[in-house]
Amino acid sequence: MSVEENYLETILKKYFQKNISLIIDGEELKSGLFMLYALTIYSNNYYIEFHVKRDKKTDIIKIPYPFKAEEYEKDGLLYLDYRISTLCKNNSRLINKIETATRNISSVNDNKFYNKILEIQFT
């Protein structure tokens, strides 16, 4: 049995040993030298672990697996899409149901990735 590489893994492999900046809402979350990634499962949720070398230590940055990824190779950009509209393929009834169901759940609304796009810059 062989394991096939997915679209996101194919993209990430191109950027090993490049400088990386993780940006959401115009604010840089982390930056450093991109050393390694791992696809993992924590508490029944899928995550990507970025191993980023900063100063003299390596940080492990866990981010949720996105609903969609878009690469702009010429610009060294990768967008990870966590928007509800992407998850629901712009179905307004589903979007409204999710927004209504999560409106008063602070753990959802406080999540920095909820209904956002994470920009990853590689240089």
Q: For the chain, give every domain's residue range.
A: 7-122
Res 123: pLDDT: 94
Quote the pLDDT of residue 96. Answer: 93
How much is the pLDDT for 4?
60
Residues 69-107 as b/e (b if ≥16 CB within 10 A, e otherwise) read: bebeeeebebebbbbbeebbeeeeeebeebeeebeeeee
pLDDT at 45: 87
pTM, to two decimals: 0.88
Q: What is the pLDDT along the chain (123 residues), one digit of tens a residue?
A: 445 668 899 999 999 999 999 999 999 999 999 999 999 988 888 999 999 999 889 999 999 999 999 999 999 999 999 999 999 999 999 999 999 998 888 878 788 999 999 999 999
Whose tokens are 């959401």? That residue is 24
- As given in the structure block, the two tokens for residue 69 are 């990824």
